[in-house]
């Protein structure tokens, strides 16, 4: 195969952007015949990520960024009714801009570097239509688990049979990609949504089948049952290339959420703690709690007696669409005297350098929202999780980790934003359980950590899967040349 260009279209979320660019770098490291153009869809709300995105690709000249024109976003009211439908409509409104960018800025180079295909985010399936119009193959980049991919294929089948959304009183579901029957309480909120959330996710599941292949950020040794399950379906080939994670040396301060002084303070504090003695609490870029829940977390930590590093983020009181920010007055949201009583064993911060914290020898456990990127990072570094999902597919991720895989401790599986307050005693018990040094979960996590690293090495399962993907793209180019 001669040189070829791929166009990547990530969804405008930080987790989706980072994992897509990590995959781009992995592909380029494996085969120097590719060059990659990433089309950036601007976020309608929240932090401007342009500087951060550019920092991710600064060292790789074969990755070109094109920022698509700003479009009028869907109504804010739709965001409140269904985030999934809002994103689907936002992506749909960019189809013309994507096609024009490819025709005017990518295809002019096709005489020397032909277009090999589009790699579209799992939420950007509308762009598969653009690939069809251009006569090139498309590949879906799936940023969640193989089990959740199986769930996405399950959704259209169920809808074709029943013609309706899920109901909160429904019985548990037998979903082939999960080992155990899945309780309705851990299904993503969109399955109950009658405002377009369920319908657009059903549509994504249908559109996946039009792609030439599906790339999943997971590895065979972690999700052997789920991967086997999705391969049994009449779907495009599935390529498991994970874990794709940022390594600790890649911390960047350009996003503006943490400065170098904060970073050094956190890492210095960890340096002074005994090995595997710290429980780390962090709930992702969109995770936050109200004052009543923060007080219970504080009491639970204090009662457990364990050292802790706690990333606290507070929701904006005047902007429903803004990402959580660092809390300015901790005394107002924590129990009276808590900061003084725990000053010797605990540290509270705002945004935390999560990967570097997980990589640190002092970190013994992770109370996490169970976003898939965070889950893979914790497994890579051998840090067991206590599950506290908040939104999106995090509940069903937590279910898989605890019930199917035995790789996490259950704090909660079914917590949702605005749900009942989790009390201090429950938090204390989960922290004590996940911090046990000789637990079966900890042993299993250590084993899967070793397997995750072998998977991406030469000869490993993910490395071999990447090789098969490159062969498939190569065959496309050979056919095109003929």
Q: Is 121 a catalytic residue?
A: yes
Taking each helix axis from N to C terminus, what angle separates 440-455 and 461-481, rounded to the nearest 10 degrees?
30
pLDDT recorded at residue 36: 94
Is the pLDDT at 234 greater than 80? The verdict is: no
For 2-49, the pLDDT digits (tens) are 788 999 999 988 888 888 998 999 999 888 889 999 999 987 655 566
Burial of 117 (0-12, 13-18, 19+ CB in 10 A): buried
Q: Is residue 272 part of a domain?
A: yes
Q: What Cα–Cα distance (Å) separates residue 449 from each residue in 23, 110, 243, 444?
A: 20, 42, 10, 9
Q: Is residue 253 part of a domain?
A: no
DSSP-assigned states of every residue in 362-377: TEEEEEE---HHHHHH
Task: Specify whether 60 is located in the same domain as 115.
Answer: yes
Task: Specify whether 218 is located in the same domain as 114.
Answer: yes
φ/ψ of residue 378, rounded to 5: -65, -40
Task: Specify whether 328 is located in the same domain as 476.
Answer: no
Split at pLDDT 50, 70, 90, the class of 254 is: very low
pLDDT recorded at residue 246: 80
Task: Specify whether 411 is located in the same domain as 470.
Answer: no
Task: Specify whether 153 is located in the same domain as 292.
Answer: no
Pairing mode of beta strands 278-282, 4-9: unpaired
Which span out of 18-27, 57-66, 229-238, 471-480 was modeled with the highest average pLDDT? 18-27
Task: Specify whether 209 is located in the same domain as 301.
Answer: no
Pairing mode of beta strands 313-314, 325-326: antiparallel
pLDDT recorded at residue 332: 83
Q: Is 132 a catalytic residue?
A: no
Task: Taking residues 72-92, report their average pLDDT.
Answer: 94
Q: How far apart are CA 312 and CA 346, in angstroms?
A: 13
Is the pLDDT at 282 greater than 50? The verdict is: yes
Q: What is the CATH number of the domain that holds 325?
A: 3.40.50.2000
pLDDT recorded at residue 114: 85
Task: Specify whether 332 is located in the same domain as 400.
Answer: yes
pLDDT recorded at residue 249: 47
pLDDT recorded at residue 55: 78
pLDDT recorded at residue 273: 98
Task: Specify whether 382 is located in the same domain as 363.
Answer: yes
Phi-psi region of 276 (alpha: psi -120 to 50; beta: other; left: phi over 0): left
Pairing mode of beta strands 313-314, 346-349: unpaired
| Annotated active-site residue in 16, 198, 204, 360 | 16
Split at pLDDT 50, 70, 90, the class of 108 is: confident
Taking each helix axis from N to C terminus, what angle separates 424-434 and 291-304, rounded to the nearest 10 degrees?
50
Query: In 3D, which of 206, 232, 255 has the Cα closest to residue 53?
Result: 255
Task: Specify whether 348 is located in the same domain as 464.
Answer: no
Tokens for 155, please give them. Answer: 């959704």
Is the pLDDT at 374 greater than 70? The verdict is: yes
pLDDT recorded at residue 417: 83
pLDDT recorded at residue 482: 47
pLDDT recorded at residue 4: 86
pLDDT recorded at residue 48: 61
Q: Is residue 283 part of a domain?
A: yes
Is the pLDDT at 410 greater than 80? The verdict is: yes
Q: Is residue 195 part of a domain?
A: yes
Task: Specify whether 352 is located in the same domain as 475.
Answer: no
Sign of CA dihedral 314, 323, 198, 244: negative
E-strand stretches of 61-170 = 63-67, 115-121, 138-142
For 380-403, the pLDDT digits (tens) are 999 999 999 999 999 999 999 999
Q: With DSSP H G I counted as helix, E B as strand and the rest as coil, what are the percentages for the chain, rounded to 5?
A: 45, 15, 40
| Annotated active-site residue in 89, 94, 121, 306 | 121
Percent above pLDDT 70 for the chain? 92
pLDDT recorded at residue 251: 53
Contact 182, 400 (CB under 8 A): no
Query: In 3D, which of 267, 441, 446, 415 has the Cα closest to residue 354?
Result: 267
Q: What Cα–Cα distance (Å) separates residue 107 from each residue in 37, 112, 160, 300?
A: 11, 10, 39, 58
Q: Which domain does 100 fall in, by range?
A: 4-242+458-481
pLDDT recorded at residue 442: 97
Look over the chain and give the mean of its residue pLDDT values, rounded to a whole number.
Answer: 90
Tokens for 140, please give them. Answer: 């879906």
pLDDT recorded at residue 51: 73
Number of domains in the chain: 2
The lowest-confidence range among 108-117, 194-203, 235-244, 325-334 is 108-117
Judge if pTM exceeds 0.75.
yes
Q: Which residue has the higher pLDDT, 48 or 86?
A: 86
Neighbours of 152 (CB within 10 A): 23
Task: Taking residues 238-244, report their average pLDDT.
Answer: 96
pLDDT recorded at residue 292: 92
In Å, the largest CA–CA distance within the chain is: 75
Q: What Cα–Cα distance (Å) separates residue 218 from each residue in 30, 279, 377, 475?
A: 18, 25, 11, 24
Task: Specify whether 428 is located in the same domain as 462.
Answer: no
Contact 6, 36 (CB under 8 A): yes
Task: Taking residues 320-347, report their average pLDDT.
Answer: 84
pLDDT recorded at residue 296: 96
Query: In 3D, which of 193, 226, 239, 282 has the Cα closest to residue 470?
Result: 239
pLDDT recorded at residue 91: 96
Q: Is residue 247 part of a domain?
A: no
Task: Taking residues 88-97, report their average pLDDT.
Answer: 96
Q: Is residue 202 part of a domain?
A: yes
For 167-215, the pLDDT digits (tens) are 999 999 999 999 999 999 999 999 999 999 999 999 999 999 999 999 9
Q: How far apart are CA 155 and CA 198, in angstroms?
A: 9
Phi-psi region of 117 (alpha: psi -120 to 50; beta: other; left: phi over 0): left
Split at pLDDT 50, 70, 90, the class of 325 is: confident
Q: Is residue 252 part of a domain?
A: no
Q: Is residue 173 part of a domain?
A: yes
Task: Specify whether 315 is located in the same domain as 290.
Answer: yes
């Amino acid at each position: 195969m001669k040189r070829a260009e791929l166009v990547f279209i990530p969804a405008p979320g930080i987790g989706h952007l980072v994992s897509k660019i990590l995959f781009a770098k992995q592909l380029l490291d494996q085969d120097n015949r590719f060059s990659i153009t990433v089309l950036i869809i601007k976020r309608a709300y929240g932090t401007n990520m342009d500087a951060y995105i550019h920092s991710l690709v600064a060292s790789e000249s074969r990755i070109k960024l094109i920022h698509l024109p700003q479009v009028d976003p869907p109504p804010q009211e739709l965001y409140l009714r269904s985030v999934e439908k809002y994103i689907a409509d936002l992506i749909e409104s960019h189809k013309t801009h994507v096609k024009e960018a490819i025709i005017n800025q990518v295809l002019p180079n096709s005489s020397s570097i032909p277009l090999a295909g589009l790699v579209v985010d799992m939420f950007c399936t509308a762009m598969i239509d653009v690939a069809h119009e251009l006569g090139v193959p498309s590949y879906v980049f799936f940023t969640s688990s193989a089990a959740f991919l199986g769930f996405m294929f399950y959704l259209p089948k169920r809808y074709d049979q029943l013609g309706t959304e899920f109901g909160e009183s429904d019985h548990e579901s037998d979903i082939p990609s999960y080992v155990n029957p899945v309780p309705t309480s851990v299904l993503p909120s969109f399955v109950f949504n009658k405002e377009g959330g369920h319908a657009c996710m059903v549509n994504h599941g249908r559109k996946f089948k039009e792609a030439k292949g599906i790339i999943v950020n997971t590895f065979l040794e972690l999700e052997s049952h789920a991967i086997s399950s999705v391969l049994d379906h009449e779907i495009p080939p599935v390529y498991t290339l994970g874990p794709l994670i940022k390594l600790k040396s890649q911390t960047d301060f350009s996003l503006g959420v943490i400065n170098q002084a904060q970073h050094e303070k956190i890492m210095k504090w960890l340096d002074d703690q005994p090995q595997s003695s710290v429980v780390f609490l962090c709930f992702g870029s969109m995770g936050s709690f109200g004052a009543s829940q923060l007080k219970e977390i504080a009491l639970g930590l204090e009662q457990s007696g364990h050292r802790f590093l706690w990333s606290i983020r507070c929701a904006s009181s005047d902007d429903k669409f803004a990402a959580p920010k660092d809390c300015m007055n901790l005394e107002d949201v924590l129990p009276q005297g808590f900061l003084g009583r725990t000053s010797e064993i605990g540290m509270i911060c705002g945004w935390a350098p999560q990967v570097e914290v997980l990589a640190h020898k002092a970190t013994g456990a992770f109370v996490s929202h169970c976003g898939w990127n965070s889950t893979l990072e914790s497994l890579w570094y051998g840090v067991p999780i206590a599950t506290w999902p908040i939104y999106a597919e995090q509940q069903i991720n937590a279910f898989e980790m605890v019930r199917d895989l035995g790789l996490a401790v259950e704090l909660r599986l079914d917590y949702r934003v605005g749900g009942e307050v989790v009390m201090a005693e429950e938090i204390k018990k989960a922290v004590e359980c996940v911090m046990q040094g000789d637990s079966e979960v900890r042993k299993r996590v250590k084993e899967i950590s070793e397997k995750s690293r072998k998977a991406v090495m030469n000869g490993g399962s993910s490395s071999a899967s990447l090789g098969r993907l490159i062969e498939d793209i190569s065959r496309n180019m050979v056919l095109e040349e003929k």
